Amino acid sequence: MSSKQLLRVYTYVIALLLYIPIAFMVVSSFNSSPYIGVWEGFTTYWYQLLLRDSEAHIALVNSLTIAIVSSTLSVSTALLAALQIRGRRLTAVDALVYPPIVMPEVAEAVALFLAFTYLGVEKGWLTVMLGHTAFNLAFAYVTLTVSRVRFEELEDAARTLGAGRLQTFKDIILPLAMPGIVAALAITFLLSFTNFIKTLFTTGPGFYTLPILIWNRARRPGISEFASQNALNALATLVTLTALSIAVAYTAYMLRKAGR
């Protein structure tokens, strides 16, 4: 085998290791047996059960509203910061933004927990949303500053030719930055929608998102029909499909922008 073929085989093996557990989860969500590993036939019962799961409905609303608000705030704030950056040189803003990306998430989550506790803030929707935004802001900033560099010369040319700040932003900056904005929105929405660690440390009693609900039920399996193993598989499958759908939609958007 050549080195290229070995690399290809290695890539396929890693992909299998990543996706086999997901495939097993999806298949198990259609198993009529409530037990994992015991196949008793195909059924959609566990998905029908989710329609009657009021806790899952509340968790879905919480996850969606937090993800939408957090991604919107983080991308809007990052865009304002990116508009002030000229070229690829590092700035004091970069020194503040990059550490949250490489910092262990649990350390940042503990810091947020201590800060909210010290301030006496009641933990719930607001604290979770702020925690997600603090984390998402760094990813949005990096995504937007990379795309920002590409159209600085066009912006300068428009200003030289007499365009005002508002016209330059509307006709030059915004259209050219739109792929970066869409990418930042997709990334930050998914990071927030699927986040567990930061949510666990910033939530309060009685407030939960889908990842928290799945974890609560997984650590106490069988306490109710909703917490049965294949019911959890169905719920986790829907969360996974939501994330994959957004990723596929973004890929389709970028391919269309590229004319492919």
Contacts 24+ apart (CB under 8 A), 8-11: none
- Rounded mean pLDDT of the chain? 84
Cα 224 to Cα 33, 149, 176, 231: the distances in Å are: 15, 54, 52, 10
Span 16-25, pLDDT tens digits: 888 898 899 9
Sorting pLDDT into bands at 50, 70 and 90, what band is 30?
very high
| pLDDT beyond 90 at 202 | yes
The phi and psi torsions of 214 (rounded to 5 degrees) equal -60, -45
DSSP 85-149: --TT---HHHHHHSHHHHS-HHHHHHHHHHHHHHHTPPPSHHHHHHHHHHHHHHHHHHHHHHHHG
State the average pLDDT over residues 11-15.
88
pLDDT of residue 86: 56
For residues 209-232, give the mean pLDDT.
85
pLDDT in tens, 35-72: 777 788 899 999 999 999 999 999 999 999 999 999 99
Q: Map tokens 């802001």 to a residue.
A: 137
Q: Indicate the domain borders of the chain.
A: 52-257
In this predicted structure, what is the pLDDT of residue 63? 95
Architecture of domain 52-257: Orthogonal Bundle (1.10)
Q: What is the pLDDT of residues 131-162, one digit of tens each?
A: 999 889 989 988 887 665 556 666 777 777 77
Confidence of residue 4 (pLDDT cuts 50, 70, 90): confident
Contact 131, 199 (CB under 8 A): yes
Residue 117: the pLDDT is: 92
The C-alpha atoms of residue 253 and residue 140 are separated, in whole angstroms, by: 18
How far apart CA 134 and CA 10 sit, in angstroms, is: 36
CB 143 within 8 A of CB 183: yes
DSSP structure class, residue 2 = -
What's the pLDDT at 88? 52
> Is the model's pLDDT at 10 over the cut of 80?
yes
Confidence of residue 259 (pLDDT cuts 50, 70, 90): low
Q: What's this model's pTM, rounded to 2 decimal places?
A: 0.84
The residue type of 164 is G
